[in-house]
C-alpha cells in the first residue's frame, strides 16, 4: 500500500514540477525586458507576463510544500545542504515579488530601471538555478545521511553536505548548468510565443518578438539535444530489493526500455514542443503554438521526473556516500501522512479548473497598449 502512495506522490510531484517549469515562461519573459527597442515594448512585455507572476511564484511554493509533505528527507537534505543554491533561488524570487508592483509607482525610491534589473535577475537566475537544482537530482550531489546522528548531542544533524561550498559547487557543474540553460531558453521561447498570442500592438513589436522566438528556440533545441545525450550516458543509482544502492552505467536507458510509457510520453511532449515552435516561427497560429508548447513542456518534464524517480532509481543520488542516495521509498513520509495528503490532493482538479477558468476570462481579449500603460497596469 505504501508503495502505491509513494508512486502516487511522485506522480503529483512530477505534475507540480512540470507546471512549475511551464509557468517559468514568466521568468523567460522577464529575462527579455532590457533588450526591447523602446519603453512601450517593455511595457507590453511586462504587462503581458506580469499578470501571471503570482501563479508562477505560487507554483514554486506549492512544489516546495508538496515535496516537504511527501518526501521530507529530500527537503531536509537538499535545502539544508545545498544552502547557497537554494538561498540564491529564493532571493531572486523575493526580488520578483515586489518588482512588478513597485516598478512604476511614484515614490518607489530606486527608479523603474532598478526594478526592471531585478526582474531580469529573477528571469535569468530563477530559470538557471532551478535547472541546476533539478540537475542535482539527475547527476547527483555530495551528501551523506546518518540518522543515528540524532543522538549525538554535540552534532545532532542527520543530513550533512560533503562539500564546503554548500551548493555553489552544484552551480559550477557543467552538466547542471547545461540543464539550467535548457530551462532558460525553453522559458524564453515559451514567453515569446505567449506574448505573440496575447498582444495586439505594432508590426515592429510583432517582428521583434518573432525573431526572439526563432533565436531562442534554436538555442533551446541544440541545448536540449545535448542534455538528452548527457542524460542517457550518465550513470544512475538504483535501489536493490535489500535497500542497498548500486551504481548502474546507462541506467536511464534501462529505465526507458523497462518502462515504455516514459519514452512514449517524453516523445509526445518533444513532438508537441517542436510543432509549436515551428508553427510560431513559420506562421501566425500562436494560439495553437502556445497550447502545443505548453502541453509539450508539461509532458516532457513529467516524464523526466518519472525517469529519475520510478523503477527504484535514486532521484537524489549521493556522489560521496551512494548508500545515502534518496529514493521515493526511503525518503517519503509515513503511510498515514501520504494517505491524508492523497485525500487532500482530490481538490487538485478543482484548483486547476478555477485557475483555467479565471485565466480564460482574463485573457479573453488581446492586450492593448492602453492596458499596459493605464492606471491598472504594472
Backbone angles phi, psi at 331, to 5 degrees: -120, 5
Angle at 37 between CA 187 and CA 275, to 5 degrees: 35
Q: Exposed (0-12), middle (13-18) or buried (19+): which is 27, by Cβ within 10 Å?
A: buried
Residues 192-211 that bind another protein (CB under 8 A): none
Q: Which of 10, 79, 252, 316: binder of another protein (CB under 8 A)?
A: 79
Q: How far apart (Å, rounded) are the C-alpha atoms in residues 185 and 124?
A: 9
**What radius of gyration, in Å, describes the C-alpha atoms of the chain?**
21
Give the binding range for another protein (CB under 8 A) out of 107-115, 243-251, 258-266, 271-279: 107-115
Residue 84 is a binding residue for another protein (CB under 8 A):
yes
Name the minimum Å distance from CB 60 to another protein.
7
Task: Find the shortest distance in angstroms from Cβ 67 to another protein.
Answer: 8
**Among residues 81 and 251, whose Cβ is nearest to another protein?**
81
Q: Considering the complex, what minimum distance in angstroms separates the CB of residue 28 from another protein? A: 19
Tell whether residue 64 is a contact of another protein (CB under 8 A): yes
**Residue 242 binds another protein, judged by CB under 8 A:** no
Residue closer to another protein, measured from CB, 111 or 283? 111
Near another protein by CB under 8 A: residue from 7, 11, 75, 342: 75
Task: CB nearer to another protein: give 64 or 235.
Answer: 64
Among 2, 11, 87, 177, binds another protein (CB under 8 A): 87
> Which of 225/347 has CB closer to another protein?
347
Closer residue to another protein in complex, CB, 44/178: 44
Tell whether residue 148 is a contact of another protein (CB under 8 A).
yes
Which one, 90 or 219, has the nearer CB to another protein?
90
Three-state DSSP string of the chain = CHHHHHHHHHHHHHHHHHHHHHHCHHHHHHCCHHHCCCHHHHHHHHHHHHCCHHHHHHHHHHHHHHHHHHCHHHHHHHHHHCHHHHHHHHHHHHHHHHHHHHCCCCCCCCCHHHHHHHHHHHHHHHHHHHHHHHHHHHHCECEEECHHHHHCCCCCCCEEECCCCCCHHHHHCHHHHHHHHHHHHHHHHHHHHHHHHHECCCHHHHHHHHHHHHHHHHHHHHHHHHHHHHHHCCCEEEECCCCCEEEECCHHHHHHHHCCHHHHHHHHHHHHHHHHHHHHHHCCCHHHHHHHHHHHHHHHHHHHHHHHHCCCECCECECCCHHHCECCCCCCCCHHHHHHHHHHHHHHHHHHHHHHHHHHHHCCCCECHHHHHCCCCC
Question: With binding defined as CB under 8 A, does residue 358 bind another protein?
Answer: yes
**Contact flag: residue 44 with another protein (CB under 8 A):** no
Tell me: does residue 55 bind another protein (CB under 8 A): yes
Nearest residue (CB) to another protein, 226 versus 373: 373
Q: Does 282 bind another protein (CB under 8 A)?
A: no
Query: Contact with another protein (CB under 8 A): which of 61, 233, 257, 323?
Result: 61
Nearer to another protein by Cβ, of 147 and 203: the residue is: 147
Would you count residue 349 as binding another protein (CB under 8 A)? Answer: no
Q: Single out the segment in contact with another protein by CB under 8 A; choices: 144-152, 214-222, 237-245, 259-267.
A: 144-152
Residue 244 interacts with another protein (CB under 8 A): yes or no: no
Is 156 near another protein (CB under 8 A)? yes
Quick note: the x/- pattern for another protein over 166-185, rule CB under 8 A, is x-------------------
Pick from 101, 204, 246, 258 the residue near another protein by CB under 8 A: 101
Q: Centre a 10 Å sphere on the Cβ of residue 207 and count the other Cβ atoms it contains.
A: 10
Specify the residue, 114 or 250, whose C-beta has the smaller distance to another protein: 114
Amino acid at each position: 500500500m505504501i508503495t502505491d502512495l509513494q508512486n502516487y506522490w511522485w506522480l503529483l510531484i512530477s505534475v507540480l514540477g512540470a507546471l512549475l517549469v511551464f509557468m517559468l515562461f514568466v521568468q523567460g519573459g522577464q529575462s527579455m525586458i532590457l533588450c526591447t527597442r523602446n519603453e512601450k515594448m517593455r511595457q507590453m512585455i511586462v504587462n503581458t507576463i506580469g499578470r501571471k507572476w503570482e501563479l508562477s511564484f505560487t507554483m514554486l511554493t506549492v512544489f516546495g510544500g508538496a515535496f516537504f509533505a511527501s518526501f521530507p528527507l529530500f527537503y531536509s537534505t537538499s535545502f539544508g545542504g545545498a544552502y547557497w543554491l537554494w538561498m540564491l533561488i529564493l532571493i531572486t524570487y523575493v526580488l520578483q515579488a515586489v518588482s512588478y508592483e513597485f516598478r512604476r509607482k511614484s515614490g518607489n525610491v530606486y527608479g523603474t530601471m532598478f526594478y526592471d534589473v531585478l526582474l531580469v535577475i529573477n528571469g535569468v537566475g530563477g530559470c538557471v538555478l532551478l535547472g541546476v537544482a533539478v540537475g542535482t537530482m539527475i547527476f547527483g550531489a555530495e551528501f551523506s545521511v546518518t540518522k543515528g546522528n540524532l543522538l549525538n548531542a554535540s552534532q545532532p544533524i542527520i543530513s550533512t553536505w560533503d562539500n564546503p561550498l554548500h551548493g555553489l559547487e552544484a552551480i559550477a557543474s557543467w552538466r547542471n548548468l547545461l540543464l539550467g540553460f535548457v530551462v532558460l531558453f525553453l522559458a524564453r521561447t515559451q514567453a515569446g510565443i505567449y506574448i505573440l498570442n496575447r498582444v495586439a500592438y505594432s508590426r515592429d513589436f510583432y517582428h521583434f518578438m518573432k525573431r526572439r522566438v526563432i533565436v531562442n528556440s534554436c538555442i533551446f533545441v541544440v541545448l536540449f539535444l545535448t542534455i538528452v545525450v548527457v542524460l542517457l550516458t550518465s550513470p544512475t543509482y538504483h535501489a536493490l530489493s535489500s535497500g542497498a544502492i548500486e551504481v548502474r552505467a546507462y541506467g536511464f536507458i534501462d529505465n526507458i526500455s523497462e518502462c515504455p510509457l516514459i519514452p512514449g510520453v517524453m516523445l509526445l511532449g518533444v513532438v508537441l514542443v517542436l510543432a509549436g515552435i515551428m508553427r510560431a516561427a513559420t506562421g501566425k497560429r500562436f494560439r495553437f503554438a502556445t497550447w502545443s508548447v505548453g502541453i509539450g513542456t508539461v509532458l516532457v518534464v513529467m516524464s523526466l521526473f518519472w525517469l529519475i524517480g520510478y523503477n527504484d532509481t535514486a532521484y537524489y543520488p549521493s556522489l560521496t556516500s551512494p548508500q545515502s542516495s534518496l529514493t521515493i521509498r526511503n525518503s517519503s513520509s509515513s503511510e498515514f501522512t501520504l494517505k491524508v495528503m492523497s485525500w487532500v490532493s482530490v481538490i487538485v482538479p478543482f484548483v486547476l479548473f478555477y485557475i483555467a477558468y479565471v485565466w480564460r476570462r482574463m485573457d479573453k481579449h488581446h492586450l492593448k497598449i492602453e492596458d499596459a500603460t493605464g492606471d491598472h497596469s504594472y
